[in-house]
Amino acid sequence: MSVKLGVPSKGRLMDKTFQWFGDRGVTLARTGSEREYAGAVEGIDGVELVLLSAGEIPRELAAGRIHLGVTGTDMVREKLSQWDQKVAPLEELGFGQADLIIAVPACWTDVDSLEDLDAAAAAFRETHGFRLRIATKYHRLVRDFLRRAGVADYQLVDSQGATEGTVKNLTAEAVADITSTGETLRANHLKILSDGLVLKSQATLFKSRAAPMVNGERETWDALREKLDLE
């Protein structure tokens, strides 16, 4: 049997992950055609590469179908309840940095903090007859954050992409999204609330707490751990 390592199946996250492992003598590569999600591992025996969407990696780790996985902290916290009982973070990989933040239109000169957002939401509901809409794909994280902050009279509307555009398109009044440089936010005339940082995220190597290691997998894992210089 082999130790299964889940890695994002495309884009910068995949390239950077391959590079991180490559720098440590473990060569990961996609095999077959461009469209086929198969992979190969060189430099260590007994490790199997599983290419997955970054959003599916938390679920696969929690279910114990992969032993190790690379994904963002944001994904793990959003997708898994009691995440720390299901997966263990082993190493932050130093890329894929992104902050989950709450942003409002820059023209809202009266709003700078969550307290302002709460007050604006109350007045908005009074005026418009519905709860102030915050577009996001991070429903759990944002809801928990706003509940702890005591913000009321808002609703989360689902947005799986181009979230920053929802305000201009009048489908939301505010957004909760990942940003790294803030460029897209500025381009869409949005500003981050001064206390609106929900989570700092980066690509992280996680280990499943549910996947048993049997038949030599533990030895493979020990060898891999040494190669990657993990504690």
Partner 1 sequence: MTPARDIRAEAARLRARFEEAGAVPLETPVLQPAEVLLDLYGEDIRGRAYVTQDPARGEMMLRPDFTVPVVQMHMSHGAEPARYTYAGEVFRKQEDHPERASEYLQVGYEVFDGSDAAAADAEVFALFAQVLAPLGLRAATGDMGILTSAVQGLRTTERRKAALMRHVWRPRRFRALLDRYSGRTPVSAHRAALIAGKVPAVEAPHVGLRGPEEIAARIDWIREDAAAGPLSEEEVALLDAVLAVRETCPFALDHLRDIAVDLPAIAPAVERLSARIDALAARGVAVETLDFEAAYGRTSMEYYDGFVFGFYAEARPDLPPVATGGRYDALTRQLGQGAEIPAVGGVIRPGVIFDLGGLA
Residues that bind partner 1 (CB under 8 A): 81-82, 105-113, 115, 118-120, 122-124, 127-128, 131-132, 139-140, 143-144, 146-156, 167-168, 170, 173, 188-191, 194
Q: Closer to partner 1 by CB, 168 or 200: give it.
A: 168
Complex with partner 1: residue 170 or 214, whichever CB lies closer: 170
- The distance of closest approach from Cβ of residue 58 to partner 1 in the complex, given in angstroms and rounded to an integer, is 15
Q: Minimum distance from CB of 156 to partner 1 (Å)? A: 6
Nearer to partner 1, 1 or 107 (CB): 107
CA distance 219 to 216: 5
Token pair of 54, please? 């970054």
CA geometry: angle 228, 62, 7, nearest 5 deg = 45
Of the pair 157, 213, the CB lying nearest partner 1 is at: 157
Q: What distances in angstroms separate CA 197 from CA 10, 20, 35, 114, one per listed residue?
A: 27, 28, 37, 10
Neighbours of 156 (CB within 10 A): 19
Closest approach, Cβ 127 to partner 1, in A, equals 6
In the complex, what is the shortest distance from the CB of residue 56 to partner 1, in angstroms, rounded to a whole number?
20
- The token pair at 59 is 């679920």
> Could you tell me the two tokens for 66?
């992969």
